[in-house]
Structure 1
């Protein structure tokens, strides 16, 4: 009985692995070795691929293909000088082998010599029967150089050679997006669709371009065509759901998200969007149910925890909101979005110590919004921690110099610390920045505001303005 190609490969693999276990040396022809090596490279078993290359070359020392596979492994392991040396030997024997050019380009690319890699790959175009692969590689080299225009051209050439290379189509769209060429992208996709009218990937990309342009009706039509082309295309249902949300057609959006749950394993994104839709429809019970499914499906998705927390904040149920944001922080205590909400919720609950901790942690994590500095300062003022409040504002002043909200607060704090010179200096800075903001002194430091000298200084700027 004749073995099929796959059966033959499986037989060769079984013999090879059996040989490794028994230490017997069996003979394989060079094609068998190539298939064995390709198999191990595809599944990431590099050590077994190396053993196969070594044994293969011991049995077939003149095999060009086995030597090229050895070069490929050396390049993968960043042993570039060894790879270069072996490649030079192969090139002397078979100069027009396209794999020689490909591996040479890979070596240049690994050395960050991308222009050289491009030159070599352009030479490969003269000897290859697989132009699509070479154009794709050239495109990638241009991406490394951040030359998106030339990258785009080469990925287009790749698609000319192989219309079904969807990775090249995605790369073309990536270049269009980076260059901000939305209209040009749609024009290109329409040309592509003239030749490939049932390409679901192209329709999907058209929809995304129209979505970004906020032309939701055209986006919706494109996603419908994507679904007609492939009724199991989950990405199209998700994107269609997003468009329907924008059009406030929430029940239809839910239906599309539900299709994705039926076609494949549930995703946290689908549950989140369904929850948002039910929230818009005023169905709090189903909204919460889906938000809870979101965090159950993916506890690391911050948008899920934020959705639940914000839901309770809107309902002014701050204790529930605090419960959920604490759960979120226990999972990821480095998430600045969690700490911002933790601080605001505790602030609304008049838990000043906890609120101050939240704002401090937010700043420690690199969130330097003016509001964060200001809110922390006001809490520190309530806690009568004048010096810490001053240090907080001096740090804020480095990012937001000359801001009235900072200057008035610094003035009041320096008055509280009995440093009149700095207090008056910052009061004048505040008045120069915005004379109307003096109300900050009145609200936060009412006793200071009553001072005659302070009122006189404020009045002098009020009259001048």
Structure 2
């Protein structure tokens, strides 16, 4: 006959686990009270062994058939193990035993949420709200569901309710920032975080999010102050250092930015993005060897970081090593084929190497991807002008003007091409439009055709606009 031992909750949880494992080894049958079983299940959950935890919950249910806690634990474990049907079944059994257990509706809500069955998820969370003592996590999940439905206004309402329940819910603070971001409503975001900080001045997450909101409003000085507070409260907050570095870059304070980026290494492993950002600062300071060395560290850590490959190309381009630069630009382009900046750099390098056909093709890609890039249109047309393809050059500038009707540079360039082609009347019409748009940029015309400075008709027209 099997001998039964009883182990109670007075036992040390570690002792309960040892006795449980001994029971399994001996194929024996010991009795544990409910608390001891809970401790054993939690031990295996912490050890990241859901299969063992599930096995314990089966034993627990056999010994305590009316304790809903083990059905709830089982459901949680089945969710983790991606067995939703069995999880639903366990929850249904739990609801029959104790319909007022909030966890039943929370887990069921989580399941429906993961299946994007939003109405059913919300229905379960609503039930849980009435039953649970602490509701901030439920409110947070209701916000997630509304985000999934694209209803960010309602999501914000629930996130604010969540924070009212628990001012320290970090997830809610970050989600709120995300919602304001999606709605492009940084002013309201700033207002919210400033009010929040009045009540919670030591919330590093609130200061950090305030910094991010100021950054998006291009108020970089204010952003830096906010990041400084976040760092003061939590000096190991690597993301705050990184974003402060970005704000300094926007203020063109590159040397200071490098120092701040380097501080992140004290609190987290160096990563490819930070190396790349430091490389970019050295590039702006025209310290190309340093820049290249950091870009190389970056691609060594993450070979898929296109910006770092591109950065290596920029440093070589600066040293007039165009052929080598092209190789790295193309590596960047392979990783991000629709990046207009990469195409522009390739076009420029090909041009400098005298590869006009390749340059023309690359400029064509630039203006296709970013038709608002006035410089690209000018360079693109310039290649044709140099080859005396005046009609093509005029056609390109016409297309450029259609996309950028307010860009005076394009009209001045059009005037130069029309004069070169001998279409004087149309050239004078375009000159009037150029001068109306921006008389200060008239030097563009003379850069291209210096002889026009002697042309009395042109000088008279210019004088009319510049007196």
Report the TM-score, using the length of structure 1 for normalisation: 0.70
* 1:343 CA displacement: 6.7
* 1:84 CA displacement: 3.6
Provide the residue aligned with 1:154 in structure 2. 158
Provide the residue aligned with 2:202 in structure 1. 198
Determine which of 111, 116, 121 is the counterpart of 1:112. 116
For residues 152-231 of structure 1, what are the structure 2 equivalents within 5 Å?
A: 152-231=156-235
Q: Distance in 2 between matches of 1:407 and 1:206?
A: 45
Q: Distance in 2 between matches of 1:33 and 1:152?
A: 40
Q: Please state if 1:98 is matched with 2:98.
A: no
* 1:56 CA displacement: 2.6
Provide the residue aligned with 2:441 in structure 1. none
SS at match of 1:125: helix
* 1:307 CA displacement: 0.9
Q: RMSD of the TM alignment (CA)? A: 4.2
Contact 2:304 2:335 in 1 (8 A): no
SS at match of 2:130: coil
Determine which of 48, 51, 66 is the counterpart of 1:62. 66
Which moved further from structure 2: 296-305 or 312-321?
312-321
Q: Distance in 1 between matches of 2:268 and 2:114?
A: 38
Give deviations 1:296-316, integer Å, cap 9, x for gaps. 232221111111112222443
* 1:347 CA displacement: 5.7
Report the TM-score, using the length of structure 2 for normalisation: 0.70
Q: Distance in 2 between matches of 1:80 and 1:317?
A: 59
Determine which of 128, 133, 145 is the counterpart of 1:141. 145
Contact 2:306 2:336 in 1 (8 A): no
Q: Please state if 1:253 is matched with 2:257.
A: yes
Contact 2:61 2:70 in 1 (8 A): yes
1:85–1:272 CA distance, 2 compared to 1 (3 A): closer
For residues 49-448 of structure 1, what are the structure 2 equivalents within 5 Å?
A: 49-76=53-80, 79-325=83-329, 335-337=337-339, 340=343, 345-346=349-350, 348-350=352-354, 404-405=395-396
Q: Give the total of aligned pairs.
A: 396
Q: Distance in 2 between matches of 1:358 and 1:14?
A: 69
Provide the residue aligned with 1:397 in structure 2. none
Q: Distance in 1 between matches of 2:32 and 2:346?
A: 66
1:108–1:349 CA distance, 2 compared to 1 (3 A): same
SS at match of 1:126: helix
* 1:135 CA displacement: 1.0
SS at match of 2:236: coil
* 1:322 CA displacement: 3.0
Give deviations 1:302-356, integer Å, cap 9, x for gaps. 1111111122224431122134346667xx6675549846676456435689879
Give deviations 1:127-174, integer Å, cap 9, x for gaps. 211111211121112112111111111111111111111011111111
Contact 1:339 1:358 in 2 (8 A): no
Give deviations 1:275-294, integer Å, cap 9, x for gaps. 22222223222222222222
* 1:113 CA displacement: 2.9
Which moved further from structure 2: 289-298 or 110-119?
110-119
Give deviations 1:381-424, integer Å, cap 9, x for gaps. xxxxxxxxxxxxxxxxxxxxxx955999xxxxxxxxxxxxxxxx
Q: Distance in 2 between matches of 1:52 and 1:290?
A: 52
* 1:51 CA displacement: 2.2
For residues 444-463 of structure 1, what are the structure 2 equivalents within 5 Å?
A: none
Contact 1:237 1:257 in 2 (8 A): yes
Q: Distance in 1 between matches of 2:281 and 2:428?
A: 54
1:406–1:45 CA distance, 2 compared to 1 (3 A): farther
Q: Distance in 1 between matches of 2:313 and 2:69?
A: 60
Q: Distance in 2 between matches of 1:267 and 1:138?
A: 34
* 1:216 CA displacement: 1.6
Q: Distance in 1 between matches of 2:113 and 2:214?
A: 36
Runs of 5+ unmatched residues, structure 1: 380-402, 409-433, 444-448, 450-454
Which moved further from structure 2: 319-328 or 150-159?
319-328
Q: Distance in 2 between matches of 1:278 and 1:310?
A: 12
1:359–1:281 CA distance, 2 compared to 1 (3 A): closer
* 1:75 CA displacement: 4.2
* 1:463 CA displacement: 13
Q: Distance in 2 between matches of 1:22 and 1:323?
A: 67
